[in-house]
Structure 1
């Protein structure tokens, strides 16, 4: 069975979105590991009464809560846009794999942005 050019574009689009998603997850894992390793001594000092460590712990909690809220909003927006597009053109050819990868990518973006910023901030502080 021959692959049509429309089907090939669809597969290529889903592949590009999947590669972007994998790249984002791998980068987030590296940045999160670095952030955890650099935060642990600060958090330990904070548990022993150091005000800098306590501020870092409060900052970590605040960032996580805001990232979860922003991520939920991004996920609902991506899914809403997908279904809105389906409602506006019901007979259009839709690539569900590409749409799912786009939704996952936009959902992870708030976490990716914060882990990257934290790793850069904590790395700069150590110098």
Structure 2
């Protein structure tokens, strides 16, 4: 009886993590599309010599580099925490789907944070 309750809780937790991941991906896609649409005129101006457009292009590149580095660190940290937990408690009840969703969630967070901030900044809306 206790095993079935544990399995049910594990499935619910994995489903919650997967739902959070799907929500994050959808929000990220919407914000990324908005950011691209708002940045394109600025980048075209930068190609024609506008200093504002060139600053925006430099900002876009530097944000991407820092997001990739932060994302890689977050993913390796989440994976390391999973393996340490497994090593220290080998007989514990581990749900690989939930853990994989946690790793993916922590990997996407730096991109999500920057994309949301860029969409808000470029459209002039407040967060």
Structure 1 residue 47, shift from structure 2 partner: 0.2
Written as runs of structure 1 = structure 2, the 5 A alignment for 1:103-114 is 103-114=103-114
Structure 1 residue 31, shift from structure 2 partner: 0.2
Do residues 59 (structure 1) and 59 (structure 2) align?
yes
Distance 1:90 1:33 in 2: 43
Give TM-score, length-normalised by structure 1: 0.95
Structure 1 residue 89, shift from structure 2 partner: 0.6
Written as runs of structure 1 = structure 2, the 5 A alignment for 1:47-126 is 47-124=47-124
Distance 2:20 2:93 in 1: 22
Structure 2 stretches of 5 or more lacking a match? none
Structure 1 residue 93, shift from structure 2 partner: 1.0
Which stretches of structure 1, 4 residues or more, deviate above 2 A after TM superposition?
Answer: none
Give TM-score, length-normalised by structure 2: 0.95
Q: What is the total number of aligned residue pairs between the two structures? A: 123
The C-alpha deviation readout for 1:78-108, integer Å capped at 9, x for no partner, is 0000000011111101000000000000000
- What RMSD in Å do the two structures reach over aligned CA positions? 1.0
1:19 aligned partner: 19
The C-alpha deviation readout for 1:34-87, integer Å capped at 9, x for no partner, is 000000000000000000000000000000000000000000000000000011
